[in-house]
Structure 1
């Protein structure tokens, strides 16, 4: 994954390194947040057969995060009831 990205987007300077690190951080956070939502709801995305709750996924909110590699936009999932409190990225 990273080697393919680097072939298409060669790192030439520190700015490129920061962009690469932001992209990697975004992918990691997205997977973690989706996993937290799966745990909260008790079923994985698209696994409606095992759904045992009235609550469901209800899109994403975009949040700007200030990290050491620069500002990063991150999509944070939310649920229909508004009960989901992510642990990796706090709501407020």
Structure 2
């Protein structure tokens, strides 16, 4: 098998190498934890991260570009 045949198509490569969504997610988690100086327990931190993640997921409405071609 030729290594060029194993490569992804252009739209798949764009999706794989796009880190904007990941960076945005991490930034929002840091923003939520940065406002707190200390956490009472590990569970308190986990609860805050969980609730922040749920808020991020609710607001995440951007569709994946060229999803039909990727499938």
Tell me which protein shows more strand as a share of its residues: 1
**Higher CA-based Rg:** 2
Q: Which has the higher contact order (CA 8 A, sep 6+)?
A: 2
Q: Quickly name the TM-score band, shorter chain normalised.
A: 0.3 to 0.5
Tell me which protein shows more helix as a share of its residues: 2
TM-score under structure 2 normalisation?
0.45
